[in-house]
């Protein structure tokens, strides 16, 4: 990964447009009305945090609560509360950690898996309808570029404060470790 240009360099109009589009996508995907419509179509009543947690567990189960908190970049207490609510509702269960019998991991129950699958199917169908006029090649290209962008964001250590403030040349090397890439969602710039 290369060192970013100094803060005094002009910004790429393409990067500005990408950031604008991502902001719009983030807004659209986080609207309460959109989430409520999705839950109505699925036939469940779960908040956005619960859906995010269920999807994460489905993608990588079973995990310790601390691992879930790290992957979702939230406090462990937030995960503990969510897991308790999801467990009470029958969506998740705690199982012994095979690596450390004192610890527990969180996994989906059959109800949790079925519900997560229904949420995904409704989401996929909505996206498919919204992108119905895109060619298969455009869809493949978008998916490839999105995955590449997410991987690059996860590998980016964050902006050098000196570069952002415009006070120096910065020391960022652009190097990351495997732990940085696995640390979780995009760090805000």
Q: Using CA atoms, how far apart are residues 117 and 156, in angstroms rounded to an integer? A: 31
First-to-last alpha carbon distance for the chain, in angstroms, is: 17
pLDDT in the model for residue 165: 58
Q: Contact at 8 Å (CB) between 115 and 91?
A: yes
User: What is the rounded distance in angstroms from the CA atom of residue 78 to the CA atom of residue 70?
Assistant: 11
- Helix (H) / strand (E) element for 108: namely strand 100-108
Query: Hey, what are 187's tokens?
Result: 């760090």
Right CATH for 17-156 from 1.10.10.10, 1.20.810.10, 3.80.10.10, 1.10.3720.10: 1.10.10.10
The per-residue pLDDT for 133 is 97
Which pair of structure tokens corresponds to residue 18?
Answer: 């990408």
pLDDT of res. 101:
85
| Tens place of pLDDT per residue across the chain (189 aa) | 556 666 677 888 999 999 999 999 888 877 888 888 999 999 999 999 999 999 999 998 799 999 999 888 889 999 999 999 999 999 999 999 998 988 999 999 999 999 999 999 999 999 999 999 999 999 999 999 999 998 888 788 877 776 555 544 444 444 333 333 343 343 333
Q: Compute the 3-state secondary structure of the chain and give helix, strand, coil in percent, each to the nearest 5.
A: 60, 10, 30
Structural domain spans, the chain: 17-156
Give residue 71's pLDDT. 86
- Spatial neighbors of 167 by CB under 8 A, at least 6 apart, are none
Residue 151: partners with Cβ closer than 8 Å, 6 or more residues away: 181
Q: What is the pLDDT of residue 111?
A: 97
Which residues have a Cβ under 8 Å from the Cβ of 168 and sit 6 or more positions away? Answer: 162
Tokens of 150: 């997410």
pLDDT value for 30: 77
pLDDT for the residue numbered 181: 36
3-state SS, residue 101: strand
The answer, as to whether pTM is greater than 0.85, is no
| Dist CA 153 CA 122 (whole Å) | 27
d(C-alpha 78, C-alpha 53), whole Å: 11
């Amino acid at each position: 990964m290369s060192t970013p240009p100094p803060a005094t360099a002009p910004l790429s109009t393409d990067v500005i447009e990408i950031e604008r589009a991502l902001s719009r996508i983030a807004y659209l995907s986080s609207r309460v009305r959109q989430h409520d419509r999705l839950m109505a179509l699925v036939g469940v009543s779960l908040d956005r945090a619960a859906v995010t947690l269920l999807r994460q567990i489905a993608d990588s189960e079973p995990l310790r609560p601390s691992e879930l908190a790290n992957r979702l970049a939230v406090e462990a207490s937030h995960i503990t509360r969510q897991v308790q609510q999801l467990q009470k509702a029958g969506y998740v269960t705690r199982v012994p950690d095979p690596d450390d019998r004192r610890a527990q991991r969180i996994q989906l129950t059959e109800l949790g898996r079925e519900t997560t699958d229904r949420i995904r199917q409704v989401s996929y169908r909505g996206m498919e309808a919204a992108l119905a006029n895109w060619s298969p090649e455009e869809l493949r290209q978008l998916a490839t570029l999105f995955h590449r962008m997410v991987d690059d964001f996860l590998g980016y250590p964050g902006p050098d404060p000196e570069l952002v403030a415009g006070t120096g040349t910065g020391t960022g090397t652009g190097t990351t470790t495997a732990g940085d890439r696995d640390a979780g969602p995009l760090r805000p710039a």
